[in-house]
Amino acid sequence: MRNAVKEILGKRIAGVVVKKREEKNPPYQVFLIFSDKTNIEFYIDGNEIKTTSTLSEGGLKEVREYGGEESIVFEVFDDSILKKVKKAARSK
């Protein structure tokens, strides 16, 4: 794991988005979205779980749009994110 994992200590997780991307690398991505509108991506690389090198700016809207919303297989978030996003929640 990279240093970005250290940056999430003390942050409040406000949402989680999981994506499965057919025929693309990485095939699976898990985004933790924090209450301060930052996020971190965990992804599968071969048989390893890796993460990005730093936290990214952006909340639920930005994570949904990154790589396309059609690849979302699961998402869950609390009301603090829901108030800032116009699109309704969904879970598959």
Mean pLDDT by 10 residues, the chain (92 residues): 81 95 84 95 89 92 91 90 58 56
This prediction's pTM: 0.81
Whole-angstrom distance, CA of residue 35 vs CA of residue 54:
17
pLDDT confidence of residue 86:
52
| Residue type (1 letter), 73 | V
Which candidate, 40, 42, 37, places its Cα nearest to that of 81? 37
